[in-house]
Structures are given as C-alpha cells and as structure tokens.
Structure 1
Amino acid sequence: MTAPRATKPRTPKIREKLPAPQTAEGLLFHYTPHEAAQWTPFSGRTLADMIARREINYVFNGRDNYLTGAQIIALVERYTVKPFAKKPARTAVAA
C-alpha cells in the first residue's frame, strides 16, 4: 500500500476573456505571466523566471508579479528579429 500524495500538481489559473494587449483597455490591464504567455514567444514559466531574475520590466503589487499590456508589447518588440534592408548591388568599376 502506498501513501497518498501530499500535494496535487498546481496549475496556474488563467482568467477568461482577457483583453488583447494592443487594445486601449489592454495597455493598462495586469496579466499574470501565464496569461501573458499567449502573446509572447515565451512560456508562462519562462516569463516568471525572467521576472525573478529581473530581466524584464514588471509590476509588483506586494504579493504577485504582473505584466501590463504595454510591457508585453515592449517585450515582443524587444525579441522580434527584423529583416535586413536590401542594399543595392555593387557595380564593378573598370580600372
């Protein structure tokens, strides 16, 4: 006979019908790292770890860490790789 599990796996609570960070309401809305993950290239756990290491801007309310919509947009822009501009081809100069 085995002993019962002491704890059950903790799954983060994600609220429904969240405003998108790009909207006027979403710019100031506070998202948990796991809620913000759907708009970033990172997982919720990675965002939480980045906050703990102070690598990204965040909001601390005395108990929990949050990201505003404006911070999510800035984070996505920070890690977006933009294509190089094409330069005109060089022409050979006759000597």
Structure 2
Amino acid sequence: MTAPRATNQTRKRPAPKVRENLPAPQTPEGQLFHYTPYEAAQWTPFSGRTLTNMIARREIGYVFNGRDNYLTGAQIVALAERQTVKPFDKPATSAA
C-alpha cells in the first residue's frame, strides 16, 4: 500500500499590473493621484505586498473606493518621511 500523492492545490495569481508613466508623488499632479500599493512601492522602503498587508491591518492611511485600496501621492510622501532617519544634531556647547 502506498501513500496518496500530494498535489499542489495552490492557485497561482498573475503578477499585479503596474501602470507606466506615473507622476511622482512629490509633484503637484502626483499629490492627489491614486497609486495601487504595488505602484507606490517604488517610492517607499516597502514592497507592494507589505504595503497591502499594512493597509489590511490599518497601519497606514489609504483611500478605499468601494472595491480597491489606493495611496495618494501625499500619503506616500508622508509614509516615506515617517521612515526616514534624521541625522543626529550635536547639542550646542555652552561657553563657560
């Protein structure tokens, strides 16, 4: 008697589509443009899947249009600034 054969039942999903010629989030036209998490990933330190998970856990602000989740350019800039480490400023020495 042999063991039943394992079958791969996982469904492969197609790669998410990323539009071309997107405006940069820092530009005036990009501030209110809606980016998918996979499109926004190129301007953040996170992958598209990580951004999708952060949206699902409500860790970051996003736009919901009734079907899909989007990030505006302003939200992308704020997220990138929040993750940026500022250089340390030495305290001013006082003259004694």
Number of equivalences? 90
Instruction: Name the CA shift for 1:6/1:81 in 2 (closer, same or farther; >3 Å).
Output: closer
TM-score, structure 1 as length reference: 0.84
Equivalent positions of 1:5-16 (< 5 A) are 7-16=11-20
Runs of 4+ in 1 over 6 A off after TM superposition: none
Query: What is the CA-CA distance between 1:88 and the residue it aligns to?
Result: 4.1
Structure 1 residue 68 corresponds to structure 2 residue 72: yes
> Take 2:68 and 2:42, find their aligned partners in 1: how far apart are those partners?
19
RMSD: 2.0
> Take 1:87 and 1:75, find their aligned partners in 2: how far apart are those partners?
28
Query: What is the CA-CA distance between 1:54 and the residue it aligns to?
Result: 0.1
The sequence identity of aligned pairs, in percent, is 72
Structure 1 residue 28 corresponds to structure 2 residue 25: no
Runs (5+) with no aligned partner, structure 2? 1-6
TM-score, structure 2 as length reference: 0.83
Runs (5+) with no aligned partner, structure 1? none
